Amino acid sequence: MKQLYILLFLSVVLLTSCKDNVELTFDNPTKNILTLKLDTLSVTIPSKDLLKIEIEKGEHQLILENDSVIKFNFIDLEYFINPSLSKYLVSEEYFGPEQFAENFTSKISRKEVSFLGMTLHGNYDIIKDAIHRVTWDFGPREILPKKVDVEEDQTYASRIKVYDVDEFMDVFLKTENN
């Protein structure tokens, strides 16, 4: 019985301590390995890869490869770190019958953006800063499904996807060639 109480206590401590943590997703869309510092920790991100690190909520310091120092107060649960300061396209994708597409209420306002020298009109945003709170469903190199389940009380669903340059080109070229 004593072991059960100890296990229960450790479970509660673990669960409550997780609320004080923040998940950082470092992305490296480049062909080179990136190295940076997070506080005193040296972080190496392989080429074309993601690295996830959990830290305590609060103020932390990032030092990028170009020696830029960024102090940031991490208060939300998840952040995207862009140490290469690359551009990403954020797109909201509609899933549902065509008859409801016109009444689709987007989370991203419709506007004109420039990405890779192209002008795009639609529900898009551009990410280019070093730190972003994660507000999307699928990040870079995560596959957007062709179909999603729509809730019973809904007529459509939407998902937000972040594309890096290479991923966007793959999707764009496939669409253009079909």
Q: What is the pLDDT of residues 39-52, one digit of tens each?
A: 999 999 999 999 99
> What range defines the domain where residue 156 resides?
88-128+135-177
| Dihedral sign (CA 77, 33, 85, 91) | negative
Residues 44 and 113 in one domain: no
Q: Is the pLDDT of residue 124 over 60?
A: yes
* Main-chain dihedrals φ then ψ at residue 125, nearest 5 degrees: -140, 165
Residues 64 and 143 in one domain: no
Residues 57 and 105 in one domain: no
How confident is the model over 51-66, as a mean pLDDT? Answer: 96
Residues 93 and 169 in one domain: yes
Query: pLDDT by residue (tens digit) across 13-32?
Result: 444 455 689 999 999 999 99
Residues 72 and 104 in one domain: no
Residues 118 and 44 in one domain: no
Residues 56 and 122 in one domain: no
Rg (CA), the chain: 20
Q: Is the pLDDT of residue 133 over 50?
A: yes
Distance CA 37, CA 64 (A): 7
Instruction: Name the band, by pLDDT with cuts 50, 70 and 90, for residue 5.
Output: very low
Residue 144 is classified by DSSP as: P
Query: Is-contact 82 127, C-beta < 8 A?
Result: yes
Instruction: Count how many domains the chain has.
Output: 2
Query: Is-contact 163 116, C-beta < 8 A?
Result: no
Query: What pLDDT, on a 0 to 100 scale, did the predictor assign at position 97?
Result: 83
Query: Is-contact 161 137, C-beta < 8 A?
Result: yes
Residues 77 and 97 in one domain: no
Query: What pLDDT, on a 0 to 100 scale, did the predictor assign at position 104?
Result: 78
Q: Strand 41-45 vs strand 34-38: parallel, antiparallel, or unpaired?
A: antiparallel
How confident is the model over 147-155, as a mean pLDDT? Answer: 80
